[in-house]
């Protein structure tokens, strides 16, 4: 049993190294296939085949050394800021979850006040998580009935969600975002897109104040679009939270002793 586990661990480590490679696997495949064909060709022209084999072996070895150095350097640099970047993402995700819950849905659960601040935040986050999970599964008509329409479709909410979209965009364009896992990068890009879409729907709704004759039409279009964007945003936020990317801002100084 132990030998099987050790083989699996070795296989996983090798797979991880291959996936981390800066050089496409196809390049290595072409080199080694060429070497195999040249080895077979040596029966026809041994000197030429061996010369080409030596050149290909040198190229493969050079690529391998460069690749290892690149991967190690990249990993070392990423470890330097990994915890801070993860905290930055988690804090922003938590703030957006809080903003949507309180601003859009008037989420304000009853929690005992005479408890420590940490316990209060823990209870609040637990209830908010359950609430947003339920919202993500609701029908459009049900969600529409729960929205705080005057609060959502306002200049204040537009500025708020536009600011959050810009904050996510800044993270995506941060120097070390090149080291993000593709799935995490995809979540963040989708989050930015849908936050910007939500802002567009709010603007559409607010046209009803200027265009009185088409007021109901713009309200309907804006509301329908906003609900679609909100559901997408909530599902992305829930996925990020499940991956560990949701954390309240630190309120206690951590001792290093």
Contacts of 184-189 spanning 24+ positions with Cβ under 8 A: 184/89, 184/243, 184/245, 187/236, 187/239, 187/240, 187/243, 188/89
Q: Are the C-beta atoms of residues 198 and 226 closer than 8 Å to each other?
A: yes
Query: What pTM does this model have?
Result: 0.70
**Buried-exposed string 149-180: b where 16+ CB fall within 10 A, e elsewhere:** eeebbbeebbebbbebbebbbebeeeeeeebb
Tell me, yes or no, whether 162 and 217 share the same domain. yes
Tell me, yes or no, whether 62 and 101 share the same domain. no
Per-residue pLDDT 10s for the chain (257 aa) are 444 444 445 454 444 444 444 445 566 566 667 766 666 666 666 676 667 667 777 777 676 666 666 666 666 777 778 888 889 999 999 999 999 999 999 998 888 878 887 888 888 889 999 999 999 999 989 999 999 999 999 999 999 999 999 999 999 998 777 778 889 999 999 999 999 999 999 999 998 877 777 888 989 999 999 999 999 999 999 999 999 898 877 655 454 44
Residue 253 lies in a domain: no
Tell me, yes or no, whether 89 and 190 share the same domain. yes
Residue 249 lies in a domain: no
Residue 125 lies in a domain: yes
Residue 143 lies in a domain: yes
Q: In the numeric block, which tokens belong to residue 35? A: 């070497």
Residue 230 lies in a domain: yes
Q: Which of 73, 104, 131 is the last residue of a domain?
A: 73
Distance CA 143, CA 231 (A): 9
Tell me, yes or no, whether 34 and 101 share the same domain. no
Whose structure tokens read 């823990």? Answer: 122
Number of domains in the chain: 2
Residue 190 lies in a domain: yes
Tell me, yes or no, whether 118 and 230 share the same domain. yes
Tell me, yes or no, whether 20 and 88 share the same domain. no
DSSP 100: I
Distance CA 142, CA 159 (A): 26
Q: Which domain holds residue 63?
A: 2-73
Distance CA 3, CA 10 (A): 10
Q: Which of 73, 105, 125 is the last residue of a domain?
A: 73
Alpha helices in the chain, H assignment, sequence order: 2-20, 25-41, 46-99, 105, 117-136, 140-146, 149-152, 155-172, 182-206, 215-242
Distance CA 124, CA 224 (A): 29
Residue 109 lies in a domain: yes
Tell me, yes or no, whether 42 and 89 share the same domain. no
Tell me, yes or no, whether 27 and 91 share the same domain. no
Q: Are the C-beta atoms of residues 252 and 108 closer than 8 Å to each other?
A: no
Beta-carbon count within 10 A of 246 CB: 23
């Amino acid at each position: 049993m132990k030998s099987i586990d050790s083989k699996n661990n070795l296989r996983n480590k090798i797979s991880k190294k291959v996936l981390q490679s800066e050089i496409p696997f196809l390049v290595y495949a072409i080199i080694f296939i060429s070497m195999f064909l040249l080895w077979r060709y040596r029966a026809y022209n041994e000197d030429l085949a061996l010369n080409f084999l030596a050149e290909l072996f040198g190229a493969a070895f050079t690529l391998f050394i460069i690749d290892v150095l690149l991967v190690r350097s990249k990993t070392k640099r990423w470890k330097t800021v990994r915890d801070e970047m993860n905290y930055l993402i988690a804090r922003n995700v938590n703030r957006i979850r809080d903003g949507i819950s309180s601003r859009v849905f008037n989420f304000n659960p009853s929690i005992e006040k005479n408890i420590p601040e940490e316990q209060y935040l823990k209870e609040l986050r637990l209830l908010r998580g359950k609430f947003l999970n339920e919202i993500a599964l609701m029908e459009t008509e049900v969600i529409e009935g729960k929205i705080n329409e005057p609060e959502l479709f306002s200049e204040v909410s537009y500025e708020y969600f536009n600011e959050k979209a810009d904050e996510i965009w800044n993270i995506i364009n941060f120097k070390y975002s090149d080291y993000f896992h593709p799935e995490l990068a995809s979540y963040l890009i989708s989050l930015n897109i849908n936050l910007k879409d939500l802002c567009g729907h709010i603007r559409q709704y607010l046209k009803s104040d200027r265009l009185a004759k088409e007021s109901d039409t713009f309200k309907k279009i804006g509301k329908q679009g906003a609900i679609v964007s909100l559901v997408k945003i909530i599902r992305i936020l829930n996925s990020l939270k499940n991956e560990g990317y949701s954390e309240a801002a630190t309120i206690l100084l951590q001792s290093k002793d």
